Chain A
Amino acid sequence: MARFRNRKTKVFVKPIVKKNQQQQSNVDHITGNKIPKSFVFSRGKLPGPIKQLQMDLRKLMLPYTALNLKEKKRNNLKDFLNVAGPMGVTHFLILSKTETSPFLRVAKTPQGPTLTFKIHEYSLAVDIAQSQLRPRCPQDLFKNPPLIVLSGFAAGDEHLKLTTTMFKNIFPDIDINTVKLSSCQRIVLLNYNKDTKLIDFRHYSIRLQPVGVSRRIRKFVQNHQVPDLRNLQDVSDFITKAGYGSESEAEEEAATVTLTSDLSRVNRASTKSAVKLQEIGPRMTLQLTKIEGGLCSGEVMFSEYGNGGNKEKPDSERGNEKEDGDNDDEMRDSDEDNEGEDNEDAIEESDEDDEED
């Protein structure tokens, strides 16, 4: 008899925690807010490229996610929920594939709303690295959580507002008084296009480059390679030679920041540096198709195609049947929690930005 009972409640999900990693704190010690953690997993059997997309998304959500999450076929949503509780996981990112296209569901545990996105197009991180001349991936790029920038959502309806809050809460907050600029190395951009109703999802790495220094000197200082002075009469020729200005320098003018501290040998305090972004990580084009009140169940609060009900559910999953009543209130509460003093983790811009500048 005991065997039967145990078989039902057995949990197979075992996220592996690296030994040298300290136990991750649930609460940010600076802001006092709960650090959001996430699980990225899939429902149903996924074909090759989508498995890679899942891995890319896991890397994106680092460090507050289970990188080596192992799932078995017989795991339900309930199993993941059971494990999520004690581990402090707040969000699920669920990938699935139907005949038409892959789907991404973003859900808040334990009873939170679920946003369903249809992935129109996607590119893997390896594809993007192949398409670039100099792909860049420094080692500690994934040690810190990314910043998030949402754009174009401003004039939106309720469902768009829900989307913004959901994405804002997925990533932990930043306290501007204490944050170190060197720890902000990645940025996730979500851009909403009103005409096509598509959301562009991009993931960039941030690089600071000192401005006002000629290219040769900068390379020399960075690479420590002895330059070739064969054709020059004097060292001053090397330094003062007017190199051609690259076309990106004009754009850099607008993108300069003045640093308060020394980030590296090259980027010193109180000098101007330019912010350069290079794309890493997956690229997706999403369309919001459905919002449900519960976790993959519950009342359909918004549906793109006008047909309510959970019709397009990929294969084997049993969601929890929870009430959906207090979900709106829950969202508001979490808003207040996260927008405490001196916290900004998301910067919203509208499209009328350019005129102002």
Chain B
Amino acid sequence: MTMEEGNVAAGKRKRNIGKKKGNKTKNKKLKMLEGKGKKLRVSKKMRNLFEKRARDYNSDDDEEEEERKEKENTEAAATRRGGGGDNSSEGSDDSGGGGGGGGGEEEEGGEIQPGVMKFTEGVRAFRVAFKNIIKRNIANDSLGPVLSGHKQLIAKKLAEEEAERKVKGEAKKEKHLVAEKGHVKPANYLDSHEKFLIGIATKGVVKLFNAVNKAQKAQKGLDPSRSKDAKMIRKRSKEAFFSELGKTSFPVQNSSSKDNTSCDPSNDEGPAWAPLRDNYMLTNPKLKDWDKMADSAIVDDVGRMSEDSGSDDD
């Protein structure tokens, strides 16, 4: 049992000698060792054995035996490493660590003896240091677990970042305010002003509808195809309409209605449908001489079209 344990310990030591910073693995192994409740004390005999093995491993003899021995040693070491890896719960790290550790030990070569002694002390020392660190970080900072001693630096950086964010946020808010200027969300209820406006609009609509009704009712009885009746229709509807609108006092409306009635008799003759009238579209002074204008208009259109088509090509 002791041999095995010793072997296990040797394997682990080989693994970790080059890597004093392998915290996790070491920590776990240390814990494991503590869990076992034993402190491993290497007897002189064991130490010699280990040294011999290390020497053998590092020697440059080409003899087969030694090669074989080396192979065996390496194989044994590999199995030990593998076994050690299985023992501890982390697989891949340990094999890597073991390889590193083994390499480290081999490189040291002639200084193995002092290295081995330092190793155990180093392990102990590291354990103490690590425990101190863990203890220290129980205090939970707002900055989070920070191992570096430069806490102030980090605090500064974070403060800077926040300040930047604040400035940006304010700028955005200002922009937003300017964009929303004048935008008013209406209230849920109808306040008095709105009711007043709706009242005005309703009155207008009612007047219009009543006028239309009167005009169209007057038209109902008469047949619009008969020219005599058509004249009657127009007359009656016009009167009805303007009387309807003229009931309430509209100064502007009255003036405009007067204009209408004055110019109406002149336009009264002729059919009801606009295009059949002789002066269809001719009241617009621009279109009076349309037949004379035709050529120039066509030329203009053609000119514009060619421009557009030219631009489309490009």
Contacts and interface: CB of A to CB of B under 8 A. Distances in A.
A333 interface: yes
A348 interface: yes
Given A127-B185, A341-B264, A32 B280 contact: yes
A123 B186 contact: yes
A193 to B, nearest CB: 10
Contact of B212 (A11, A99, A149, A179): A179
A128 B185 CA distance: 8
Contacts of B310: 2, 5-6, 9
Most interface-central of B200, B204, B241, B281 (chain A CB within 10 A): B204
B251 A350 contact: yes
Interface residues of A, number: 83
Interface stretch (B26-34, B94-102, B165-173, B213-221): B213-221
A251 B206 CA distance: 13
Contacts of B156: none
Interface stretch (B68-76, B125-133, B174-182): B174-182
A149 to B, nearest CB: 4
B179 A47 contact: yes
Most interface-central of B201, B252, B301, B313 (chain A CB within 10 A): B201
Interface in B54-101: none
Contact of B311 (A9, A121, A277): A9
B290 interface: no
A47 B180 CA distance: 8
Interface string A318-345: 0000000000000001001101111010
A49 interface: yes
Interface in B224-251: 233-234, 237-238, 241, 245, 247-251
B259 A339 contact: yes
Interface in B177-202: 178-188, 194, 197-202
Contact of B183 (A27, A124, A353): A124
B274 interface: yes
Interface in A137-194: 147, 149, 151, 153-155, 164, 176-177, 179, 181, 184, 187, 189, 191
A49 B180 contact: yes
A10 interface: yes
A356 B213 contact: no
A234 interface: no
A47 B245 CA distance: 44
B163 interface: no
Given A32-B281, A191-B197, A3 B250 contact: no
Interface residues of B, number: 72
A32 B209 contact: no
Given A154-B251, A342-B234, A350-B251, A260 B213 contact: yes
Contacts of B215: 176-177, 342
A79 B144 CA distance: 61
A251 to B, nearest CB: 8
Contacts of A341: 234, 238, 260, 264, 267-268
A184 to B, nearest CB: 8
Interface in A57-90: 82, 85-86
A140 B218 CA distance: 29
A266 interface: no
Contacts of B308: 11
B76 to A, nearest CB: 76
Interface string A102-131: 100000000000000001111110011011
Interface in B262-307: 263-264, 267-268, 272-275, 277, 280-281, 283-285, 301, 304, 307
B205 interface: yes
A101 B197 contact: no
Nearest to B201: A189
A311 interface: no
B20 interface: no
Interface string B12-51: 0000000000000000000000000000000000000000
B213 A257 contact: yes
Contacts of B219: 177
A207 to B, nearest CB: 10
A232 interface: no
Contacts of A353: 203, 248-249
A283 interface: yes
Nearest to A83: B308
Nearest to A5: B310
Given A29-B274, A32-B281, A341-B238, A258 B213 contact: yes
Most interface-central of A176, A202, A347, A356 (chain B CB within 10 A): A176
A255 interface: yes
A151 B199 CA distance: 11
Interface of B: 178-188, 194, 197-213, 215-217, 219-220, 233-234, 237-238, 241, 245, 247-253, 256, 259-260, 263-264, 267-268, 272-275, 277, 280-281, 283-285, 301, 304, 307-308, 310-311, 313-314
Given A149-B205, A344-B211, 13 more contacts: A47-B178, A47-B179, A101-B181, A127-B185, A130-B185, A184-B208, A254-B206, A257-B213, A259-B209, A339-B260, A342-B215, A349-B203, A357-B248
Across chains A and B, which 9 residue pairs bring their CB atoms closest together, nearest first?
A32-B274, A47-B179, A149-B204, A6-B314, A257-B209, A10-B311, A189-B201, A121-B184, A356-B248
11 contacts: A5-B310, A11-B311, A30-B273, A32-B280, A131-B185, A176-B241, A177-B237, A184-B205, A255-B203, A341-B238, A348-B250
